[in-house]
Amino acid sequence: MAVPPSQSSINFHPSSGFQGHVKGACSVNLAFSGPDPPRPSSLIRGVCMGRATALCGRSGRIVSFLSAVPCLSGCTPQPAAERRMSDQGKSSASTPAGAPAPGSDTYKGWLFKWTNYLKGYQRRWFVLSNGLLSYYRTQAEMAHTCRGTINLATAHIDTEDACNIVLSSGGRTYHLKASTEVERQRWVTALELAKAKAIRMMNDQSDDSGDEEPTTQSDRSEGIQGTLKTLISKLDDLSTCNDLIAKHGAALQRSLSELEALRVPVEGGEKIKGVNERATLFRITSNAMINACRDFLDLAETHSRRWQRALQYEREQRIHLEETIEQLAKQHNSLERAWREAPTLSANTPSAPTTKKGGSERPQKGEASDEDEETEYFDAMEDSPAFITVTATENTQHRCSQSNLSGASGGHTNDWNQDNVSPSCKDSGKELQPLRRRRSHIPDKPNYSLNLWSIMKNCIGKELSKIPMPVNFNEPLSMLQRLTEDLEYHELLDKAARCESSLEQLCLVAAFSVSSYSTTVHRTAKPFNPLLGETYELDRLDDFGYRSLCEQVSHHPPAAAHHVISQRGWSLWQEITIASKFRGKYLSIMPLGAIHLQFHSSGNHYVWRKVTSTVHNIIVGKLWIDQSGDIEIVNHRTMETCQLKFSPYSYFSRDVPRKVTGVVSDSGGQAHYILSGTWDDKIESSKIVQSSKGGSGSEGKQKTVYQTLSPKLLWKKYPLPDNAENMYFFSSLALTLNEPEDGVGLTDSRLRPDQRLMEAGRWDEANSEKQRLEEKQRAVRRRREAEATDALDNGREYEGFQPQWFHKRTNAITGETNFVYKGGYWEAKDSQDWSMCSEIF
């Protein structure tokens, strides 16, 4: 029978359950499709009294409750969009396997997306979540790469034909196609629901985003209580609606029974009987919905009480935490005041020796500080070291956290060669002064703004592999020269070579390994990538007694070999390969390869590896560099070790930024020295005189308490030259690395033209020269590849590129195969015979 627009229509499908949409409150149209009448326990999907929707399973329980907007006095006509969605949803009551229902928060599936006229429609994986429609090439790309996203709150949804969907928002248009009309209908329903929800969320946010004062705890509590009251009233309205359904259903049943009792023709009696059966089924299903709603109300009330108890508990815990933090802050302030007043209080005590530091006097703890002997300050950070240091004085022990050791007093931060050091470790005299006066400045860095359009303009029509990176991102030094900068504090190795104690020598080697990072704190620019076969020498034999040589031995992956020989009793060699990973906001640079250091007189052979360098704010913000990780320095002759920890920077940590801590142990694992400081300033060493087990740390592990002597200064960073901020923040050694010198090899980095032009401030010419050199290197590589192919075709063996001054050897200690110096460079320099060098510039 036909249904007027003001009446109700309810459809019941045996395959999908009960589906209805109420447009008014006047009459009901009941229709069946299928051979058998459905059972009341079958899946029911109803849209009752406005936009109240419920899904019931076979047990009669509610599976999902989307929204409830009951109409008590009358029902508002349904909007056309929702009416269209309801009509379209009739053909898509079942959801495909693996995909949530269109009414849920997330909907996923395959669709075909129009790409271009060459490729046409391409299969893409689409994800609808939180009002955003995103697509990926494959499901695996969801973890890392999103190909595009459109906001449904401002999008227009249109359907062209049986399977097509058109989404447009802000000038962006997606032409999508589903595999079937049913699948298209599911997606349209899900998109319309997600759009309506996104619009409601956007309106709610705009209502709450006024310029209001920050809400207090009481205001938030009142808001929560108001929300709960609103929900309770809505649930009461739903219960009233259920009562009305029961009431009107009973009245309908009575009216049909009275109609059946009247005398009517046989054919009319059969039809009335069928209507009566359908009314009975309607009453049964309505009762099932009412029972499910009642179960939902009971369950919601039970969970509401449980959530209120949990919320109250969390609120009490928060208040307790705030009180605890306030007490800790007060204790911290009182300790700071006590520390400032300590010099005045103990100035008249003869037995309290004082030391000057930073212009203020700080006494050592004497006998008057007995109450401090019972106090141990433990680091509460999760990554805190597993030990506590205790500085020992004449009459007492002053306990302090390892995180504050670099600032601990208890005595002078004396040089290593002052006290408690082997006499052979002390300086025999003043270091030799350089015989040659070297430059102390370079031309100032030009104030060129980085124009991305000019970079893109130069890349038009070129292959991606041939696009040059402009020198705007570089500094006028090559990676080989940056590697040579590790020798800036070579005097630490000179001093270590004179040590008789291997443990004291290990402390100085550890300080040297940390000092190599001191120049990186402000150096955010990228060094030039060396050309294959490029070399760099640093001859300081007359000045400081050492000679250094680097060579680029591989281009893919980039690898450089380095060898240093010193007349003061040590040799250093390394092969470093740079691996990097871009992680969105930051870039991780991981140097691969071991550093070897050997002392000639003792035969002590030390091996260690570098830590990870991280460049932050790659996309937005000011670039800054951090060092993090662990370094293990091993003396392979005595098996003594030093464990260094570079703590990563944390905004929430109370530790000193760029903090470094370490323990020097003998072959048996017994600790002898504690190292502390920062990698951009200084490193100190404290000799351990006694160790004991302390309290448990934050992770339940028992910490070791070390009683130490006063810290000794091992290394202190040199101040930067004047005007360093305009000279790429170069150190005194870095300023001299690219200084022209006579007699160097033809492949030396000093002779590289693009680097030289950049240092002179002629960046446009440097970019052109850099592009020429890179293209020349590509041509040489293509020629080598062609020669290798010809040799393979003719059955000959092709040797390929071989470095000029280094060759591969297997290290007897580490078992690794790497490049080591084979000799001949310095002899070639003495004779000025560079005929074996390739012309790479």
pLDDT averaged over the chain?
A: 74
Mean pLDDT of the region 86-112: 56
132 pLDDT more than 70: yes
410 pLDDT more than 60: no
Under a CB-based contact definition with an 8 Å cutoff, are residues 3 and 28 in contact? no
Better-scored residue on pLDDT, 194 or 75: 194
Mean pLDDT of the region 758-774: 91
| Least reliable range by pLDDT among 208-212, 218-222, 293-297, 807-811 | 208-212
Q: Where does the pLDDT of residue 735 fall: very low under 50, low under 70, confident under 90, or very high at 90 and above?
A: very high
478 pLDDT more than 70: yes
Distance (Å, whole) CA 704 – CA 639: 22
Phi, psi of 131 (to 5 degrees): 75, 10
Please count the other Cβ atoms lying within 10 Å of the Cβ belonging to residue 268: 13
322 pLDDT more than 60: yes
Under a CB-based contact definition with an 8 Å cutoff, are residues 132 and 124 in contact? no
Please count the other Cβ atoms lying within 10 Å of the Cβ belonging to residue 695: 10
Q: What are the tokens at 38? A: 């459905």
| Least reliable range by pLDDT among 479-483, 717-721, 791-795 | 791-795
pLDDT given for residue 555 in this prediction: 85
H-helix or E-strand spanning residue 342:
helix 266-345
Better-scored residue on pLDDT, 768 or 466: 768
Better-scored residue on pLDDT, 607 or 354: 607
Q: pLDDT tens-digit profile of 247-306? A: 777 777 777 777 767 766 666 777 777 777 777 777 777 777 777 777 777 777 777 777
Q: pLDDT tens-digit profile of 331-342? A: 887 787 777 776
Distance (Å, whole) CA 662 – CA 507: 10
pLDDT given for residue 622 in this prediction: 83
Q: Where does the pLDDT of residue 454 fall: very low under 50, low under 70, confident under 90, or very high at 90 and above?
A: low
pLDDT given for residue 58 in this prediction: 35
Better-scored residue on pLDDT, 626 or 86: 626
Kindly give the pairing relationship between strand 526-528 and strand 474-478.
parallel
Distance (Å, whole) CA 623 – CA 428: 43
Q: Where does the pLDDT of residue 330 fall: very low under 50, low under 70, confident under 90, or very high at 90 and above?
A: confident
DSSP three-state, residue 482:
helix
Under a CB-based contact definition with an 8 Å cutoff, are residues 519 and 488 in contact? yes
Under a CB-based contact definition with an 8 Å cutoff, are residues 366 and 348 in contact? no
Angle at Cα 630 formed by Cα 629 and Cα 632, nearest 5°? Answer: 155
Q: Where does the pLDDT of residue 793 fall: very low under 50, low under 70, confident under 90, or very high at 90 and above?
A: confident
DSSP three-state, residue 610:
coil
Residue 467: closest CA among 457, 479, 477, 453:
457
Q: Where does the pLDDT of residue 371 fall: very low under 50, low under 70, confident under 90, or very high at 90 and above?
A: very low
- Tell me, yes or no, if the pTM score tops 0.85: no
Q: Where does the pLDDT of residue 378 fall: very low under 50, low under 70, confident under 90, or very high at 90 and above?
A: very low
Q: pLDDT tens-digit profile of 214-258? A: 445 555 566 566 666 766 776 776 777 777 777 777 777 777 777
Q: What are the tokens at 623? A: 């670039």
Mean pLDDT of the region 539-555: 93
pLDDT given for residue 205 in this prediction: 64
Widest distance between CA atoms in the chain:
131
Mean pLDDT of the region 315-325: 85
10 Å CB burial of residue 505 (0-12, 13-18, 19+) is buried
pLDDT given for residue 498 in this prediction: 94
Q: Where does the pLDDT of residue 467 fall: very low under 50, low under 70, confident under 90, or very high at 90 and above?
A: low
Q: Where does the pLDDT of residue 148 fall: very low under 50, low under 70, confident under 90, or very high at 90 and above?
A: confident
Place of tokens 């990973």: 581
Q: Where does the pLDDT of residue 821 fall: very low under 50, low under 70, confident under 90, or very high at 90 and above?
A: very high
pLDDT given for residue 745 in this prediction: 93
825 pLDDT more than 50: yes
Q: Where does the pLDDT of residue 699 fall: very low under 50, low under 70, confident under 90, or very high at 90 and above?
A: low
pLDDT given for residue 627 in this prediction: 93
Q: How much of the chain exceeds pLDDT 70, in percent?
A: 69
The string of DSSP codes covering 704-765 is EEEEE---EEEEEPPPPPTTGGGTTT--HHHHHHT---TT--TTBGGG-HHHHHHHTT-HHH
680 pLDDT more than 70: yes
Q: How much of the chain exceeds pLDDT 90, in percent?
A: 32
Q: pLDDT tens-digit profile of 36-78? A: 444 433 333 333 333 333 333 333 333 333 333 333 333 333 4
pLDDT given for residue 390 in this prediction: 53
Q: What are the tokens at 699? A: 């992770």
819 pLDDT more than 60: yes
